[in-house]
Amino acid sequence: MATPGATKRLTKEYASITKSPPPYIIAHPSESNILEWHYILTGPPDTPYHNGQYWGTLTFPPNYPFAPPAIRMHTPSGRFRPSDRLCLSISDFHPKSFNPTWEVSTILTGLLSFMTSEEMTTGSVRATEAERKVFAHRTRWWNSTGGGSKVSADSSARGFGAIKSGDGGAKFRQEWPELDEENLKWLAERKIDLATGLPAPDPAPPQCLPEVAGLRRRPGTSPGVGAAVMHGGQQARDVGGSWLSRNKWTVVLGAVFAYIMVARALGDGAMAAAK
């Protein structure tokens, strides 16, 4: 539970950051807990994170501002491990280096600056620029769907404030309903499959249109007449082939007998002429 001093300080800072938000940063406290803040960093131009929507949380201690918050980024970015606590000079990893005059806007500006650098720390990861651009393009899908419908088997997120993938976007929707609505419109316009985050395939065209099927019929005949003609011809061929196969030896013997008779007649005629 927040101390009266922490509540007063965070209420004042919320009014300040709402009135004059730093570039590429918005943030607000949770309605149910003033010590839990949710932020969105928009990837700045000329960085691999350009136009990415990076959601995270600041979890303040009850005695803030005399101790720093835990800092997490839930959206996969290629820069930080999702939902892991980040070791920064402005985070709870280094309470002795925290300056009580630093505000929420100071903390988030420092986080954005560190994100766009290549410095490594606990909770950060290495990735190529191309990989980070792919992550940036998928941030809206991940935030509004929770990365699909299944909890990641290798998720290592631990502790209060950690967000695992697979919640269907419920937590994001609760904290950012307007952004969630915008995201779903953005995904629909680009025909993004909500289950995978990938472009949905175009529906397969019909195999044979009725107009094309009509071109296959002979002019002047109906489908029924054409089918009857084809069927009748096939039956005639079947009948002829069947009779020949049953009487092939009779045909052969008849041909031989006819040949002998013709040869004999020709022979008799030749003999009569000689006489």
Q: Enumerate the active-site residues.
A: 87
Which residues are within 8 A (CB) of 241 and not within 5 positions of it... i.e. 6 or more apart?
Answer: none
**3-state SS class at 271:** helix
> Can you tell me whether residue 56 is helix, strand or coil?
strand
9: amino acid identity, one letter: R
End-to-end Cα distance, the chain? 145
Helix ranges, 116-192 (H): 129-145, 170-175, 177-189
Pick from 126, 121, 99: nearest CA to 111? 121
d(CA 60, CA 47): 29
